[in-house]
Amino acid sequence: MTASIRDQARAGSLPIPQLVKLWSEIQPDALAFREKDFGIWKRITWGEYSRNVELLALGLADLGFREGERLAIAGEGIPEWMYADMAAQSLGGICVGLYPTSPWAELAYILEHSGSRVVVCGDQEQVDKILEARKQHGLSNLKWVIYVDDKGMRGYEEDGLVSIAEVIERGQRRAESDPAVLVNYRTQSAACSPDDPAIIVYTSGTTGAPKGAMLSHRNMLVAGCSVVDTFGYDGKNLEVLCYLPLCHVAERSFSTVMQLCCGSVVNFAESVDTVSMDLREIGPTLFLGVPRIWEKLQQTITIKIKESYPFHRWAYQAALALAMPIARREIASGGYRRGLRDKLVGKLLHLLMFRNIQRFSGLHRVAVCFCGAASVSPETLLFFRAIGLPIYQVYGMTETAAVALVQQPEHTAFGCVGVPIPSLQYRLGDDGELLMKGPTVFLGYLDAPEATAAVLNDGWLASGDIARIVDGEVQIIDRKKDLIITSGGKNISPSEVEHALKESIYIREAIVVGDGRNFVAALIQVDYDSVGKWAQEKALSFTTYRSLTLLPEVRELIDDEVNAANSRFARVSQVRKFSLLTKELDHDDGELTATMKVRRKAIEQKFVNEIVEIYGARA
């Protein structure tokens, strides 16, 4: 029976909510979710998962939610997020994820554009933003605002505001008063087509207003199952920690969709602030991190070692010096340790040193680590492989359900993103742009036929990324629109230089500029924590982020880091000048997207004075 469910999921031949029902039938008492409540992990079985989805769906139907309508969800990852997601899809509706960090104006745009009829909010903060958006923009389609956490909600009396517990109770009453209602619902849910839209994911909007990418049930299942199959995961050995927002298509794919592919367990982090502790308590067997997560984890380990006793620092440095060459040979050998000496030394280093570091990070049970959303620097990949945590890079887009290419054993080259998943075709266009075709390619953008036609041609998706093939693996050079051409006609990949700069523990963000100019420069945001700690150790006085960046000693520190990064590039690609930003980049100020990607055009406009200072008045 389990194999049959896996086969159906792999083919994407059934709607996603049906998998919840099937798993609940063969393993009703097996663990599906863990959620931390007041410091204690609360268990939710597959039977409870399925029952909550059904009752919530009946309650939503009682509120008037119908096939083809959209339900939006704003909040952190919690079981109720998935109940609402599955309930809406099981009614033939479409789920629209909203970032919990988005300001009300951004939420208003997405709610208006998607025509969402219902919004499920995690807590009072999200409710306040939705109500403000409705007050300012009307949102005539929005009829119901459902909240999960009732803390602070007692005094609210707005029309259409109801708790999720009340909606589930409505569903319970409908099921008890008329058993045929539940039978009809189950029939309707099973009849949904796997090629219908399941979710709408709004793109980051780095160059303009976000677009709503429509992904089908088949898109999501084929993408998720491809990773599960490639790395041999099943219901017994797959356990993940869900800590990124579930509106992020990568988190959705790598946690909840992969769970449905094999009937495994998802643990919901208590909060963003407790992720480190949650990792240590759960010990997931698969972990997906965006580049910033891996860079921050490396910095944390480095700082902790610096704070340890001298002997411990010496032992760590000695172990790392031995491990680094082994890691390089391992990567060159396709991810395998070939020599007996490397195997023995690696095992010894693990027992004496790196096992404890893995436990400190909470990744001691991980079989496979992934990095997605953007490329990570080779030095970071080398560091984690050296301490026994190999990271495989995944390339995907919202428009490919998060997964298109993935590194795996035999395909681990530095700077590459692996080979295509089995169902995907790819080729390079005349200008080197990566083009993809297959069952994971999205249905199109919501109400945007021109934008859809611009990226889809006869089923081939234009990625917008310039790529090349290196020993059978795909290597992404940069975004097509971001490539810099200097006044001397030299093509430069800004992301490559930016990654090198951000390898420094003192640099949080770097934006390379130089298009049409005679040399490359950078706008740099320092890492407040690490630079602040460095300044304290040097007895330097500062009170704010701005005052820290204005210290001459800090500029000298960053200058040394820039020079170190420059040593790896030809002179034409080196950063000749830089400006330290006196404020931290922020989503609310329009400088970053909800996924913390840099909005280059907005930053170049906002920090025009800093650019003028670098290049002169004609900049």
pLDDT tens digits along 380-411 = 889 999 999 999 999 999 999 999 999 999 89
Where a domain ends, among 225, 250, 278?
278
- Interval 326-363: pLDDT, tens: 999 988 888 888 889 999 999 999 999 999 999 998 99
Q: Which two structure tokens, joined as six digits, stand for 13?
A: 């031949």
Residue 619 in this model has a pLDDT that exceeds 60: no
Residue 111 in this model has a pLDDT that exceeds 60: yes
Here the CATH number for the domain that contains residue 509 is 3.30.300.30
Q: pLDDT-derived band of residue 492, with 50, 70 and 90 as boundaries?
A: confident
- Interval 505-536: pLDDT, tens: 899 999 998 888 888 999 999 999 889 999 99
**Residue 466 located in a structural domain:** no
**Residue 152 located in a structural domain:** yes
**Residue 102 located in a structural domain:** yes
* Phi and psi torsions of 401, nearest 5°: 60, 35
pLDDT of residue 259: 94
Q: Which helix (H) or strand (E) holds 326?
A: helix 310-332
Which residues, 6 or more positions from 128, have their beta carbon under 8 angstroms from its beta carbon?
Answer: none
DSSP 28-64: TTSEEEEEEETTEEEEEEHHHHHHHHHHHHHHHHHTT
Where a domain ends, among 278, 304, 328?
278
286 DSSP 8-state letter: E
pLDDT of residue 450: 93
Residue 591 in this model has a pLDDT that exceeds 90: no
Which tops the pLDDT comparison, 569 or 491?
A: 569
Rounded percentage of the chain residues whose pLDDT exceeds 90: 60
Residue 319 in this model has a pLDDT that exceeds 70: yes
Query: What sign does the dihedral 476-481-487-488 (CA atoms) show?
Result: positive
Computed over every residue of the chain, the mean pLDDT equals 90
For residues 350 and 388, is the Cβ–Cβ distance under 8 A?
yes
Q: pLDDT-derived band of residue 2, with 50, 70 and 90 as boundaries?
A: confident
Residue 325 in this model has a pLDDT that exceeds 60: yes
For residues 201 and 213, is the Cβ–Cβ distance under 8 A?
yes
Q: How far apart are CA 252 and CA 262, in angstroms?
A: 15
**Residue 319 located in a structural domain:** no
Residue 498 in this model has a pLDDT that exceeds 90: no
For residues 187 and 91, is the Cβ–Cβ distance under 8 A?
no
Q: How far apart are CA 240 and CA 288, in angstroms?
A: 9
Q: Which residue range is the domain that position 565 belongs to?
A: 484-615
**Residue 453 located in a structural domain:** no
**Residue 352 located in a structural domain:** no
pLDDT of residue 206: 55
**Residue 105 located in a structural domain:** yes
Total count of domains within the chain = 2
For residues 412 and 392, is the Cβ–Cβ distance under 8 A?
yes
pLDDT of residue 1: 64
Q: What is the mean pLDDT of residues 595-603?
A: 78
**Residue 550 located in a structural domain:** yes
Residue 42 in this model has a pLDDT that exceeds 60: yes
For residues 129 and 115, is the Cβ–Cβ distance under 8 A?
no
Where a domain ends, among 263, 278, 293?
278
Here the CATH number for the domain that contains residue 160 is 3.40.50.12780
| Orientation angle between helical segments 164-177 and 46-62, nearest 10 degrees | 90
Which residues, 6 or more positions from 240, have their beta carbon under 8 angstroms from its beta carbon?
Answer: 254, 255, 258, 259, 264, 265, 266, 267, 284, 285, 286, 287, 288
Residue 217 in this model has a pLDDT that exceeds 90: yes
pLDDT of residue 491: 76
